Amino acid sequence: MADSVSSHGATILVVDDDADIRDLILGQLRQENYRLLGAANAAELRQTLRDNAVDLIVLDLNLPDGDGLSLCRELRADGSEVQIIMVTARGSAIDRVLGLELGADDYLTKPFEPRELLVRIRNLLRRSRGGEAPPRREAPRHASFGPWRLDLVQRRLIDPDDRLVMLSSAEYRLLCRFIEEPNVVLGRETLLPERRATAAFDRTIDLQVSRLRQKLATAPGGSELILTVRGEGYVLASGVEYS
């Protein structure tokens, strides 16, 4: 779905399944003399890239037929050097790390100031048009805590002997929440935000924590990493280092 404004300037593709948000971003860019294109999903993004030379993509992380992280990795694996600004409602450090690790050039969390998006687009395009490759942010690959390392790309635990421990999606998300705020007591509503309304009575989080504890306890010193704070929640009793 093309929305051409001018034959001059860079071509920017805005990818978001929410038509209102997509139109809002396109509207903000319309006065900047860019050639604008829109896509509602991953399939439209791929087709648009086949049909057009695109300079920069404003890419939503969550799409109905794929996710921005996988698309970013796919584009880089194919050798594409298009500039990518990843936009998402998520604001976690882990998501930012993954996005940058997989090849995004910049990252914005909704809601954002329109001027901030414009400045970031101009900066990326200025560097690429000037013949200077935009510097990739060297995002860490691992988060280390206690005796464990968490591979932030492969989403698996690595023990001190370099043995791998696979995590379910729920266990990985839970561990990421602990890692983002180490030594801070986190309530059930924080650890399970999708069930915030019933978190105080929901025992699902207790079961997930128990399973995660069992895996962490397989390494010496791992059994005391996640502690229960009665009446308040759980805490990761460890510092976290990235590498």
pTM for the whole structure: 0.53
The CATH number given to 142-242 is: 1.10.10.10
Collect all residues with Cβ–Cβ distance below 8 Å to 194 and sequence separation of at least 6.
none
Within 10 A of 189 (CB to CB), how many other CB atoms are there?
16
**Domain ranges across the chain:** 2-129, 142-242
Low-confidence ranges of the chain (pLDDT < 70): 1-8, 90-101, 128-139, 192-202
Count, in order, helices (H) and strands (E) of the chain: 8, 15
Which pLDDT score is estimated for 2? 43
Fold: same for 2-129 and 142-242: no
Which pLDDT score is estimated for 201? 54
Q: Strand 11-15 and strand 35-39: pairing?
A: parallel
| Superfamily of domain 2-129, CATH level 4 | Response regulator (3.40.50.2300)
Which pLDDT score is estimated for 56? 95
